[in-house]
Amino acid sequence: MKIRSGIGFDVHPLVEGRPLVLGGVTIPYEKGLSGHSDGDVLAHAIIDALLGGAGLGDIGTHFPSNKSDLAGIAGPELLSRTVRLLEKSGWRATYVDATIMAERPVLSPYMDQMRRGLAASLNAGGNAINLKATTTDGLGLVGRGEGIAAMAVATLEATI
């Protein structure tokens, strides 16, 4: 059995006038993440980890921000499209571990809902995803409340 790992990272600025979406879940907050899509840094970091593990480049290669048909697209939809790319290339995700870095809002009430939704987008069981959230203790753009970041590690296995 052939196994690979990939790493992903994403960060977006927080802005007024947009909903805050993380892992496909809309979280009540006065700001949301800027971006061509829905700005879902968690989904984007997972996508980059999956693509990296399969040797398929990065999110910008497959879903460029200059494509008008991708404007406002939801992170879980991009994740589902990524799973199809993996399948065509002979890979499937077996495990994802991801961390969200946000000073505010408190994310613990939403983590299970995010995990379940992301698992569905990956066509994986709930045990195939682990999510964590942390702060940066007031340091950097995350600590100042200017943005939210996420990182992910994905484990993939060959299907062919």
Q: pLDDT per residue over 60-78, tens digit each?
A: 999 999 999 999 999 999 9
pLDDT digits (tens, 9 = 90+) for 88-126: 999 999 999 999 999 999 999 999 999 999 999 998 877
Q: What is the pTM of this model?
A: 0.97
Q: φ and ψ at 20, to 5 degrees? A: -90, 115
Give the integer Cα–Cα distance in Å for 136 and 49.
Answer: 22
**Angle of CA points 135, 23, 35, to nearest 5°:** 85
Residue 95 belongs to a domain with what CATH number?
3.30.1330.50
pLDDT of residue 145 exceeding 90, the answer is: yes
Please give the tally of structural domains in the chain: 1
Q: How confident is the prediction for the chain on average, in pLDDT?
A: 96
CA distances, 18 to each of 15, 26, 28, 37, 62 (Å): 7, 10, 11, 11, 24
Closest CA to 7 of 44, 46, 56, 43: 46
Domain extent at residue 134: 3-158
